[in-house]
Amino acid sequence: MSDFWRRFRRNRGAVVGLVILALVIAVAAFASLLFPGSPWDMATAPFVPPGEEGMLLGSDSLGRDVAAGIAHGARISLMVGAVSTAAALCIGVTLGAIAGYLGGVADDAVMRFTEFFQTIPSFVFAILLVAIFTPTIGSVVFAIAVVSWPPVARVVRAEFLSLRSREFVQAAEVLGKSRIAIVVTDILPNALSPIVVLSSLMVASAILLESALSFLGLGDPNLMTWGFLIGSGRSVIRLAWWMSVFPGLAIFLTVLALNLVGEGLSDALNPRLARQRGGAA
């Protein structure tokens, strides 16, 4: 563990990313303390520029506090990112494990299915799913999970393919362990590091996807999100630049932090690869 931490720390970008991420999580956790009351309520006059009348980041066209919106939106973004990634991991790990462990016809079938989902324009598909199942937080999470599992399935399949013929798996088979037990207790723990690295990148892209959906007006109408804030600032950008600029910065920082942490995790979990990359760079 300390070894892991030492290697992670060596990547300076990753440490910066971790600090930013911790800040975003703190803002999300203490949103109700920092900005009591609903972010939908009017706090002051409309279009107050940043820094005036106690509005740190200005107010929007209905006099709502942009900073409060960002703080409360952080909860939704992080939550959607985490839950949809967890759901995508469930689908991807299951399918990847089936394909990689069973091989043969099952592998073929799963891989064709995965290829299909990788071919179709995923954002268009996500829009279609949310629109047809009406925009709610549930349908947004569902749509993001449905379009983001294929890379997981591919990675897990590749890991399982290389692990299933190792001696320790053969030993478990000889011992008469059931297939499911072998997959869950023997192979999966050994395939975890690429899954962990991948999932931090998936949370990042899920946050981007959610913001794009709510920018198009496909967010849950009852929830304040970053994409919604930018979308509502779009038509008045000549009048109130702060309405679109600050929520976008929040998305940028969060996603950048997650990407940096992902690279750090990759360095820490695959030291051999990190050295190779260090050698080439």
Partner 1 sequence: MDPSRLPGFLLRRGVKAAIVILAIVVCNFLLIHAAPGDPASVIAGQSGAADERFLAQLRRQFGLDQPLHVQLWIYLKGVLTLDLGFSHRQQLPVWTLIRERLPATLLLTGAAFAFAVAAGVTLGTLAARRVGTWADSIITVIALTFYATPLFWVGLMLVLFFSVWLEWLPSFGMATVGVELHGIDAVLDVAKHLLLPALTLGLFYLAVYARLTRATMLEVADQDFVKTARAKGVPEGQVVRRHILRNALLPVITFAGIQAGQLIGGSILVETVFAWPGIGRLAFDALLARDYAVLLGVFFCTSVMVVGFNLVTDLLYAVVDPRVEVEG
The span from the CA of 79 to the CA of 92, in Å, is 20
Candidates 34-42, 160-168, 178-186, 248-256: pick the segment binding partner 1 (CB under 8 A): 248-256
Looking at residues 147 to 206 of the shown chain, list those that interact with partner 1 (rule: CB under 8 A). Answer: 204
Residue 218 tokens read as 């496909």
Nearer to partner 1, 105 or 132 (CB): 132
Give the nearest distance from C-beta 269 to partner 1 in angstroms. 20
Nearer to partner 1, 44 or 50 (CB): 50
Helices (H), 103-164: 104-119, 122-132, 137-148, 150-163
Nearer to partner 1, 137 or 177 (CB): 137
Give the nearest distance from C-beta 192 to partner 1 in angstroms. 24
The span from the CA of 253 to the CA of 247, in Å, is 10
Give the nearest distance from C-beta 126 to partner 1 in angstroms. 8
Q: Which of 110, 76, 119 is nearest to 229 (CA)?
A: 76
Q: Which of 241, 235, 215, 252 is nearest to 58 (CA)?
A: 241
Residues in Cβ contact with 174 at an 8 Å cutoff, skipping those fewer than 6 apart: none
CA atoms within 13 A on the CB side of 261: 20
Nearer to partner 1, 56 or 127 (CB): 127
Give the nearest distance from C-beta 90 to partner 1 in angstroms. 20
State which of residues 11, 84, 244, 266 lies at the interface with partner 1 (CB under 8 A): 244
CB distance 187 to 102 below 8 Å: no
Length of the chain: 281
Give the nearest distance from C-beta 114 to partner 1 in angstroms. 12
Give the nearest distance from C-beta 231 to partner 1 in angstroms. 8
Give the nearest distance from C-beta 3 to partner 1 in angstroms. 27
The span from the CA of 123 to the CA of 102, in Å, is 31
Per-residue interface string for the shown chain with partner 1, residues 60-99, x marking contact by CB under 8 A: ----------------------------------------
Looking at residues 115 to 154 of the shown chain, list those that interact with partner 1 (rule: CB under 8 A). Answer: 116, 118-125, 127-129, 131-134
State which of residues 98, 255, 265, 268 lies at the interface with partner 1 (CB under 8 A): 255
Determine the Cα angle at 191 with ends 158 and 120, to 5°.
45
Residues contacting partner 1: total by CB under 8 A: 42
Give the nearest distance from C-beta 134 to partner 1 in angstroms. 7
Looking at residues 213 to 232 of the shown chain, list those that interact with partner 1 (rule: CB under 8 A). Answer: 215-218, 227, 230
The span from the CA of 64 to the CA of 44, in Å, is 7
Q: Which of 234, 222, 230, 221 is nearest to 251 (CA)?
A: 230
Q: Which of 206, 230, 71, 69 is nearest to 140 (CA)?
A: 206
Cα distances from 171 to residues 156, 159, 182, in angstroms, run 21, 18, 10
List contacts with partner 1 (CB under 8 A).
Answer: 116, 118-125, 127-129, 131-134, 204, 208, 211-212, 215-218, 227, 230, 233-234, 237-238, 241, 244-245, 248, 251-252, 255-256, 259-260, 280-281
